[in-house]
Amino acid sequence: MKKLFLSFVVFSFLLVTGCQENSITDPISSQSPNKVQSNSGIVTQGSVPLQGILEVQGSDNLFYTIEGNIDYTHELIFVDPIPPAQQYHVKLNLSTNAILAGGNDLPGNKNNTVSSESEDVFYVSPEGIYLLEKTFYLQGSFEGMVLVLRFLVTTDGVGLNSMHLAFIDNYTANKTSVQDTIIYPPLEDTMINHY
């Protein structure tokens, strides 16, 4: 009789446990699964100094000094933040203000300025670097020169890789030099001031 009663208790327990809804398969939240996730991401702001001596490409011994900075806002937009295939877009706002002086003391070549703002959105893989080349017209330049800046952009931030002056015949304003992401090791903070 004890075995029959014990069997009945075990059978009842299994029946009650087996008929309950499985909480493992229940949705985690009560929100609709079709809800679009927010695209807001990580925002980084900073400033990159523009200082140094620039040679004009395509000319003989024509030099300028540059003083100024680039204020930037780097926003990481999560397109698909779920591993293993995370996808990001970077929204990069640049505000450039600089003064160029020199030009070997030729008349009209002093105090050229660069004042420009731009916004770019592009794909960057988590381990990759996007090469972005921007050209800015020099205000006050009678020779039609542009300031060419090359940036290295990652999901962590932005750094200035190089800068030079060129005549406008060789460049189009605000072009992107590379359309695809090039994979390199992630950019270190020490890369910001290299040019």
DSSP string of 26-43, one letter each residue: S-SSSS-TTPPPP---EE
Under 8 Å between Cβ of 46 and 69: no
Q: Give the pLDDT score at 123.
A: 87
Joined tokens for residue 194: 């290299």
- 135: in domain: yes
- In DSSP terms, 119 is beta-bridged to 93
Q: Mean pLDDT score of the chain, rounded to an integer?
A: 72
pTM: 0.62
Report whether pLDDT(131) > 90: yes
pLDDT mean over 11-20:
69
- Is 140 contained in some domain? yes
Is 158 among the domain residues? yes
Q: Please tell me the chain's helix, strand, coil percentages from 3-state DSSP, rounded to the nearest 5.
A: 10, 50, 40
> What average pLDDT does range 60-79 have in this prediction?
87
β-pair type (158-167, 42-57): parallel
How many C-beta neighbours within 10 Å does residue 191 have?
17
181 domain residue, yes or no: yes
User: What is the extent of the structural domain holding 182?
Assistant: 42-186
pLDDT digits (tens, 9 = 90+) for 56-69: 777 777 788 899 99
Tell me the two tokens of residue 179. Answer: 């359309």
Q: Which residues of 9-39 are buried (b: 16+ CB within 10 A; e: fewer)?
A: eeeeeeeeeeeeeeeeeeeeeeeeeeeeeee
In a domain, 101, yes or no: yes
Q: How many domains does the chain have?
A: 1
In a domain? residue 84: yes
pLDDT band at 110 (very low <50, low <70, confident <90, very high): low
